[in-house]
């Protein structure tokens, strides 16, 4: 794979957007995590909290003496790293799929590290019951009069208490396989490349899905999200003692991995 302008653009956006090299790599497809990092550095993009980068301080870390510690010659079968599988990538289970599209391979991990809160598009706003007149949130919500802790964020978004996510969890979106490349259907959606300081970056759907896009609403000034999503992103902290008590987990709890 070569670094086309588009691929570079995507790399930049994602890198600056805080995606990990791995995520970027398999989003782009056909490149390794190392390739992404290497490219990023060559592009001058660099660093973001890197685990290994707090070293130095004063003395030189005396990494490698003049002697050649590593004979680069020997290439090992590399049992450690996962198989790169450059081209014949996506091992799509499912019923016989003829789509070769090497682009993305959503295969492996459930993607837990993604900052993406997994948007639930049609999530019914069950929130802010009392709905103080102060807020103009047009929430079609009646009933419920339990006084919840609701505060108004700087931009006018409603803060939620820590347990207030209305829809339990983002409705596990059926992961679709394949495509993930530009298609007419997402033409008017906010794509990765459409992100700017002015539009809401709240992710809708999941990377790799054909219709993955971003909210795209005008941002709440000073925030990366629109007012609505600010309410989701920034949640009020309940006073100590009034916190959500019990870890509702029957036992053990769902293993997330």
Residues that bind DNA (CB under 7 A): 1-3, 20-23, 31-35, 37-42, 46-55, 61, 63-64, 68-70, 72-76, 78, 80-82, 84, 109, 113
CB of 85 to DNA, least distance (A): 11
CB of 78 to DNA, least distance (A): 4
Q: Tabulate helix, strand, coil % of the chain (nearest 5).
A: 15, 5, 80
Helix (H) or strand (E) holding 159: strand 158-159
- Which residue, 106 or 161, has its beta carbon nearer to DNA? 106
Rounded CA separation 207/192 (Å): 10
Task: For helices 21-28 and 33-42, give the axis angle rounded to 10 degrees.
Answer: 100
CB of 158 to DNA, least distance (A): 33
Tokens encoding 252: 């053990």
- Which residue, 60 or 169, has its beta carbon nearer to DNA? 60
Instruction: Render 164-228 in DSSP notation, one character per residue.
Output: --SSSS---PPPPPS--S--GGGTTSB-GGG--TTB---EES-TTSTT-EE--PBP-TTSSS-HH
CB of 13 to DNA, least distance (A): 14
- Which residue, 41 or 198, has its beta carbon nearer to DNA? 41
CB of 87 to DNA, least distance (A): 12
Rounded CA separation 219/194 (Å): 14
CB of 116 to DNA, least distance (A): 14
Rounded CA separation 84/103 (Å): 14
Secondary structure of 142-158 as H, E, C letters: CCCCCCCCCEECCCCCE
Could you tell me how many residues make up the chain? 257
């Amino acid at each position: 794979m070569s670094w086309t302008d588009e691929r570079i653009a995507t790399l930049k956006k994602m890198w600056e957007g805080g995606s990990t090299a791995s995520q970027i790599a398999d989003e782009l497809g056909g490149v390794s995590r190392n390739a992404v990092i290497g490219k990023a550095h060559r592009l001058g993009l660099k660093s973001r909290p890197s685990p290994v980068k707090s070293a130095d301080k004063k003395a030189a870390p005396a990494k490698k003496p003049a002697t050649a510690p590593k004979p680069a010659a020997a290439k090992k079968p590399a049992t450690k790293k996962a198989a790169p599988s450059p081209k014949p990538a996506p091992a799509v289970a499912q019923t016989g799929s003829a789509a070769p599209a090497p682009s993305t391979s959503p295969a492996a991990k459930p993607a837990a590290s993604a900052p993406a809160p997994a948007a639930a598009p049609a999530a019914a706003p069950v929130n802010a019951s009392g709905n103080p007149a102060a807020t103009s949130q047009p929430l079609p919500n009646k009933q419920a009069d339990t006084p919840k802790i609701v505060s108004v964020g700087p931009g006018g978004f409603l803060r939620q208490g820590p347990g207030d996510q209305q829809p339990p969890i983002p409705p596990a979106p059926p992961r679709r396989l394949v495509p993930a490349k530009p298609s007419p259907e997402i033409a008017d959606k906010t794509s990765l490349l459409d992100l700017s300081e002015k539009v809401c970056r709240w992710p809708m759907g999941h990377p790799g899905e054909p219709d993955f896009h971003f909210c795209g609403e005008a941002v709440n000034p000073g925030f990366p999200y629109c007012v609505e999503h600010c309410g989701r992103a920034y949640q009020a902290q309940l006073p100590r003692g009034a916190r959500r008590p019990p870890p509702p987990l029957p036992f053990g709890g769902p293993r997330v991995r």
